[in-house]
């Protein structure tokens, strides 16, 4: 492998200036990522599901995740625990359902800024901060209540540790194992991108002529083994406990549909081409995504950046090979790409400055204005395709009905409840998810309909798994959410009393006569 020529090392930044710079970058990230987290209701599917699992932890066994008061094994619990702690301390709100993701984004910005200001210089550190906070794909995942940003933070911590080991600081093994533990306990199989990066990086290091030390090329030592022991203590107990309690059911849900099926089949109407993520990156990180290829190549040539380049390439490649592709899956690549591009761009700007016969003030002012113009123009040009990346994969009527049901459930939850039983939901036509209904109802949700489901009809716990009225409704009144036009179809042997009504839906109490 070829190497770049030696670069002149800039004077190191004093420690107090590094601290101030990192604090300013962290404050900027808070200003960008934290405001208005709760101004929109949670979206169906992932946001609503994760928030509800976290809410149910407050009243149940925090070690065994539950959704709709049934065991739920789709994801590891780290982000769910964090959100549950926020709910316990500050209340169950939309803001705190998303705060864990946003604060993880703030931590990533601070970590990269601090790492670059130590490894490179202040210019590269601030370019990385501005690039990351100007990457629409990164901003989106930070402002939704999902798990991808905490996964990304774990990957960044591990990469910092791997680079420290490369630089003969063997305490970096602790960072690597800690980051890997965070990644695995956040999103399980998605941490495979980090797991693959480590042996590939070591192999590349051993093959690179200047990094070969025949006596001890990559030293492990006691820090490696102690870090591994701590990693196993952090990761194994929960997995073994769930396997002990639920056995094959845990393995099937944890690794079956939500890992193997997603990797091998295009499911849930997510039909995309292999180059989907190249398109996502192009419109989510414009205009500086055009520099990514050069930054990746530059990173492969420079030792202290090699781990970041390998990780970014493996992340994009692996998720492109997987058959189910969603825009937020690529989130772990954004910090690495921002860091690599910051180093590449800072070097190019300094070289350009030395060639230009103008004052530094004039040069940097012109550069800042040009970058701002390019960013605004690119944001406007990519706004339309970007708006379609994260839109719902259902019709507008279903989206409208889901929003209306949330409004009704929020309103009725503020009123005294004469019954604590499950919320019954009755709607017909296109399938609507009940993921957010469970969260806003603050009680179990059971779909109902007058007639039994015909044999062979596909069912899904989030979409369609109804009981009959006769099985679900007793003489004790039950709260029911239904389409208004269905009221006239309630069987004669049941009584119904309306409580709240909306444009096309209403909430009431139903009981057997």
Say what angle helices 15-33 and 94-119 make with each other, to 10 degrees.
150
How many Cβ atoms are within 10 Å of 338's Cβ, its own excluded? Answer: 29
| Residue 312 · residue 296 · CB < 8 Å | yes
101 in helix, strand or coil? helix
| Residue 459 · residue 477 · CB < 8 Å | no
| pLDDT, position 9 | 47
What are the per-10-residue average pLDDT scores of the chain (513 residues)? 46 80 97 93 89 94 93 95 97 96 98 96 95 95 95 97 91 96 93 92 77 55 93 97 94 77 59 84 92 95 94 94 85 96 95 84 90 92 86 72 89 80 88 88 92 83 89 92 93 92 92 91
| pLDDT, position 20 | 95
| Residue 122 · residue 21 · CB < 8 Å | yes
Per DSSP, the residues of 312-340 read HHHHHHHHHHSSS--GGGGTTHHHHHHHH
| pLDDT, position 5 | 44
Report which of 9, 163, 100, 47 is spatially closest to residue 402, judged by C-alpha positions: 47
Rounded CA gap, 463 and 98, in Å?
23
Rounded CA gap, 464 and 434, in Å?
9
Whether residue 287 has a cis bond before it, omega within 30° of 0? yes
DSSP state of 38: T
- Report phi then psi at 454, rounded to 5: -60, 145
Report which of 67, 64, 35 is spatially closest to residue 52, judged by C-alpha positions: 67
334 CB contacts (<8 Å, ≥6 apart)? 132, 135, 137, 138, 152, 285
Rounded CA gap, 152 and 312, in Å?
11
Task: Write the burial class of residue 210 (CB in 10 Å: 0-12 exposed, 13-18 middle, 19+ buried).
Answer: exposed
Rounded CA gap, 419 and 477, in Å?
7
Rounded CA gap, 123 and 360, in Å?
13
Residue burial 220-229, b: 16+ Cβ < 10 Å; e: rest: eeebbeebee
Rounded CA gap, 145 and 139, in Å?
12
Domain boundaries, the chain: 15-358, 398-512
| pTM (predicted TM-score) | 0.92
């Amino acid at each position: 492998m070829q190497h770049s020529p030696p670069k002149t090392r800039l004077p190191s930044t004093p420690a107090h200036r590094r601290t101030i710079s990192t604090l300013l970058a962290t404050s900027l990230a808070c200003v960008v990522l934290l405001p208005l987290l709760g101004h929109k209701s949670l979206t169906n599917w992932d946001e609503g599901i994760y928030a509800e699992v976290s809410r149910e932890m407050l009243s149940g066994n925090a070690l065994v995740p539950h959704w709709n008061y049934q065991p739920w094994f789709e994801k590891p619990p780290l982000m769910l625990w964090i959100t549950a702690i926020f709910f316990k301390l500050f209340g169950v709100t939309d803001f705190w359902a998303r705060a864990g993701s946003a604060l993880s984004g703030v931590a990533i910005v601070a970590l990269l800024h601090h790492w670059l200001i130590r490894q490179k210089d202040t210019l590269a550190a601030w370019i990385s901060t501005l690039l990351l906070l100007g990457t629409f794909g990164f901003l989106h995942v930070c402002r939704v209540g999902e798990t991808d940003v905490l996964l990304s933070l774990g990957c960044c911590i591990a990469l910092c540790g791997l680079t420290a080991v490369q630089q003969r600081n063997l305490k970096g093994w602790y960072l690597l194992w800690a980051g890997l533990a965070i990644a695995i306990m956040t999103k399980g199989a998605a941490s495979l991108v980090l797991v693959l990066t480590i042996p590939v990086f070591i192999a590349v290091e051993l093959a690179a002529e200047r990094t070969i030390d025949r006596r001890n090329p990559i030293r492990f030592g006691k820090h490696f083994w102690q870090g591994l022991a701590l990693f196993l203590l952090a990761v194994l107990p929960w997995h073994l406990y769930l396997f002990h309690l639920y056995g094959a059911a845990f393995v099937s849900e944890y690794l079956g549909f939500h890992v193997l099926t997603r990797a091998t089949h295009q499911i849930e109407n997510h039909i995309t081409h292999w180059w989907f993520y190249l398109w996502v990156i192009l419109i989510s990180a414009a205009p500086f995504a055009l520099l990514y290829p050069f930054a990746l190549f530059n990173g492969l040539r420079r030792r202290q950046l090699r781990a970041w380049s390998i990780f970014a390439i493996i992340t994009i490649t692996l998720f492109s090979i997987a058959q189910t592709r969603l825009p937020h899956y690529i989130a772990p690549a954004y910090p690495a790409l921002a860091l690599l591009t910051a180093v590449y761009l800072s070097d190019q700007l300094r070289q350009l400055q030395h060639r230009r016969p103008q004052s530094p003030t004039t040069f940097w002012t012109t550069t800042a204005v040009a970058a701002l113009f390019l960013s605004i123009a690119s944001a406007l040009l990519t706004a339309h395709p970007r708006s379609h990346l994260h839109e719902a994969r259902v019709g507008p009527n279903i989206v409208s009905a889901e929003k209306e049901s949330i409004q009704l459930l929020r309103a009725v939850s503020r009123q005294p409840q004469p019954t604590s039983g499950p919320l019954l939901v009755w709607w017909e036509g296109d399938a609507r998810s009940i993921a957010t209904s469970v969260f806003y109802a603050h009680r179990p949700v059971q779909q109902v309909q007058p007639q039994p489901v015909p044999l062979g009809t596909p069912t899904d716990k989030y979409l369609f798994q109804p009981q009959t009225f006769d099985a679900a409704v007793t003489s004790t009144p039950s709260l029911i959410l239904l389409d208004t036009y269905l009221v006239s179809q309630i069987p004669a042997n049941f009584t119904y009393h309306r409580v709240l009504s909306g444009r096309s839906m209403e909430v009431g109490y139903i009981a057997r006569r």
